[in-house]
Amino acid sequence: MKAPKDLCSDNKTKKFQNSQLKNYNMKYTTTLIVVTLFFAVSVVLALHIAAPKKENHKHAGFDRVFAANDILRPLDTLDLRYHSYYIAGVDNSHLYLGNSQVPSHIVEAKLNNLKDTIHHNISVGNLKYRSIQVKVVAPYFYLTDGVIPFIYRGNITDWTAAPYKNNAYFMNAVPMDNGMLALIGLDNDMGKVFFKVTKGNPKLEVFPGLLEAQGGEVIFSTEGKLHYDKKTKQLTYVYLYRNQFLLMDDGFNLLYKGNTIDTISRVKIKVGEISSESTFTMAKPPISVNKRSTVSGNYLYVNSNILAGNEDPDTFENASIIDVYHLEKGEYEFSFYIPTYKEETLKEFMVIDNDTVIVKYRQYIVTYTLNTTYSNRSLTI
């Protein structure tokens, strides 16, 4: 690249060559930068292409019975403007929303007119919390925190909470009737168990042996959701990582173990240990089966994460499939989709009286009527 001195004795030529050389170099460098950029992007792209296909599409060895499309009709919508709200409870005519950012804040919305809202503030004094949740079971509301731990209770007429129970640590608390609560926690042998809190009894009743660990791991493999239904006075526990649910009466007597329609009977999770923090966490993306669920009377509604054999993958990905089970018969009935709303997918849902579905999307609440006469087999309530 060095220009011999005698060739560019003229100052102008030198300058010309200089700028030309510079231009050439700039071009070369820019090209090299762009090439590097494309190379780096294609490495990530290759990783993305080589990445395992959606795990929840690989277990489609079962079929769903789809209800007619118009089984759901939108009824009403509410824009909460923040996505930190969660469904705290419902009674006959109201929906109660808690807020994970401001735990003392409650929004009450009328079910027949969602935009008719009242804001409440829970007065509880100075309360330290770590993982607080508000649960409304009219006429009471509960403040539960399994990490501190505490359970407070108050009346929804004045929204003032007072200490109710201070017991062992727990992972989740589900209010039942007559001031009873069902807790999920660990017993002294580090097994996952149910506890029952009764108003008069200062001691917890323990119910071991109901939740079954798989793969020699207790905490994650037994993960799931507990529901209590006032009408039937029954508890339903739906496992998150396997196709199983338990039906129990309010004394935690097992009525039967049921199966959801998919084929995943063994949990597909891999737990890794981080010794430096003495914590355990997922070492692989886990495959959840029964992502969300709710119970209304004799029916169990499961938002499944597993694609069926006779199902269109795009529809499955863009909407939320709900499988309906009859709890008394222990049978699968049919399935329907809850659509997206403003491009958001379902985050929480509840079914009331088997005819109204309340869905929480990111920051929206949408209610739908569930017209079961449109299904292949109509619900008999």
Partner 1 sequence: MKRIISTLTHFGQRNRAIILETICFLFILLFVYAAVSKLMDVQKFTVQIGQSPLLTNIAWFTAWFIPIIEIVVALMLTWPKMRLIGLYGAFALMVMFTAYIIAILSFSENIPCSCGGVLEKLGWTEHLVFNIGFIILAAIGILLQSQSKDRLHGSVEYGETTSA
- Please give the residue ranges that form the binding site for partner 1 (CB under 8 A): 1-3, 5, 8, 11, 14-15, 18, 21-22, 25-26, 28-29, 32-33, 36-37, 39-41, 43-45, 47-48, 50-52, 270, 272-277, 281-285
Decide whether 52 or 216 has the Cβ nearer to partner 1: 52
* Nearest distance, CB of residue 379 and partner 1, angstroms: 31
| Maximum distance among all Cα pairs of the chain, rounded to whole angstroms | 107
* Nearest distance, CB of residue 279 and partner 1, angstroms: 9
Decide whether 2 or 128 has the Cβ nearer to partner 1: 2
* Nearest distance, CB of residue 81 and partner 1, angstroms: 20
* Nearest distance, CB of residue 6 and partner 1, angstroms: 11
Decide whether 26 or 381 has the Cβ nearer to partner 1: 26
* Nearest distance, CB of residue 274 and partner 1, angstroms: 4
Pair 326, 333: CB distance under 8 Å = yes
* Nearest distance, CB of residue 86 and partner 1, angstroms: 19
User: What residues pair up with 326 in beta bridges, in sequence order?
Assistant: 299, 331
Helix (H, G, I), strand (E, B) or coil at 370: strand
Decide whether 163 or 272 has the Cβ nearer to partner 1: 272
Q: How far is CA 55 from the centre of its chain?
A: 18
Helix (H, G, I), strand (E, B) or coil at 17: helix
* Nearest distance, CB of residue 152 and partner 1, angstroms: 32
* Nearest distance, CB of residue 1 and partner 1, angstroms: 6
Question: 300: closest CA among 322, 270, 316?
Answer: 322
Cα–Cα distance measured from residue 303 to residue 353, given in angstroms and rounded to the nearest whole number: 18
Decide whether 18 or 121 has the Cβ nearer to partner 1: 18
Pair 79, 377: CB distance under 8 Å = no
Decide whether 11 or 92 has the Cβ nearer to partner 1: 11
What DSSP letter does each residue of 287-344 carry, written as one string?
Answer: --SEEEEEEETTEEEEEE-S--TTS-HHHHHHSEEEEEEETTTTEEEEEEEEPPBTTB
* Nearest distance, CB of residue 30 and partner 1, angstroms: 8
- Which sign does the torsion angle of CA 308, 311, 314, 316 carry? negative
Decide whether 12 or 203 has the Cβ nearer to partner 1: 12
Decide whether 14 or 257 has the Cβ nearer to partner 1: 14
Decide whether 15 or 230 has the Cβ nearer to partner 1: 15
Question: 244: closest CA among 224, 216, 228?
Answer: 224
Q: Tokens 């914590």 sit at which residue?
A: 279
Sequence-distant (≥ 6) Cβ neighbours of residue 99 within 8 angstroms: 82, 84, 85, 86, 105, 106, 107
- Which sign does the torsion angle of CA 312, 315, 318, 323 carry? negative
